[in-house]
Amino acid sequence: MKNAIWPNLFQGWNRTESETVYTLKQVPVFKGFSKREFNELEQLVHHRSYAAEDYVFKNRAPGEGMYIIMKGTVKITIGTRSGNESVLAELTDGDFFGELALFDDEPRSANAIATTDSELIGFFTADLLSLQDRHPELANKILFNLGGILGERLRSTNHLLMEAQGVKDDG
């Protein structure tokens, strides 16, 4: 008969990383985090479930932070669902959105709607500020990474603008 003591005694020792940590690792905002830091982050983030067609947030609603898709799909739209809806992006597992709300108090600039039953991870300004109080090195990493992402977006926007204006890009 197989002895059950040893497997039970060492239960969890070879535990693989959680689904949350696995998802967070794919997000460039958390680039350079150690295993311990990801575990700290896991304690902080919020898990939210949305049914298909549920709003994650509405355009012009007060924005408090970013969402990361753990499972499911989300579309980013402007306009209303009654007719003039325009889809800006369709996002899936590992994608993130709403990160600008971490920096400013401006309202949301688009709708985010779950297109299938979705599981999202929320990371909000209150969490970032709490992290800054308790683990400032982690908060600094997040802010540095976010700065990099926004800088990259600004560069590509500049590039598109120059293309639209017919200016030759020497860079």
Partner 1 sequence: MDKNLPSDHFEVTVPKIEHQQSVLLIYRLLVGLVAAGFVWFIWPYVSNVLLIIVFAFLFTTVLLSSVDGLERKIHSRGISVLLITVTVLAGIGIFIGSFISQLSSQAADFSSRVDPTTLTAEFKSLGERFMAALPGFASNMVSSGGDFASTLSSFVNSVVENLAALAGAVTSFMLNAAMILIFTIILLAEYHSFRKTLVGYISNKYFEVALKLIFNIEKSVSSYLRGQFLSAASVAAMSVIGLLILNLTGANLTLIVFIGIIAGLANLIPLVGPFVGMVPAILIAFMNNLGSEVSVAHMLFGVVPSPFYIFDIILMFIVVQQIEGNLITPTLVGKSVGLHPMLVMIALIIGGTILGPLGMLFSVPATGVLKVIGQEIAFVRKNAHLL
Residues within the interface to partner 1 (CB under 8 A): 43-44, 46-48, 50, 54-58, 60-65, 107, 122, 124-126, 129-130, 133-136
Give the type of residue at 143: L
Give me the least distance between CB of 92 and partner 1, in Å please: 19
Give me the least distance between CB of 103 and partner 1, in Å please: 15
Q: What six digits make up the tokens of 79?
A: 């306009």
Q: Which is nearer to partner 1, 18 or 157 (CB)?
A: 18
Give me the least distance between CB of 153 and partner 1, in Å please: 23
Q: Which is nearer to partner 1, 126 or 160 (CB)?
A: 126
Answer for the pair 68, 93: CB distance below 8 angstroms, yes or no.
no
Give me the least distance between CB of 11 and partner 1, in Å please: 23
* Residue keyed to tokens 């200016």: 167
SS3 state at 101? helix
Half-sphere exposure for 122 (CA within 13 Å, toward CB)? 16
Q: Which is nearer to partner 1, 33 or 50 (CB)?
A: 50
Give me the least distance between CB of 12 and partner 1, in Å please: 19
Name the nearest CA neighbour of 30 among 50, 17, 45: 45
Q: Treating both helix axes as pointing N-terminal to C-terminal, what angle do 35-44 and 125-134 enclose, rounded to 10 degrees?
A: 130
Q: Which is nearer to partner 1, 30 or 50 (CB)?
A: 50
Q: Which is nearer to partner 1, 32 or 107 (CB)?
A: 107
* Residue keyed to tokens 């949305």: 50
Half-sphere exposure for 89 (CA within 13 Å, toward CB)? 10
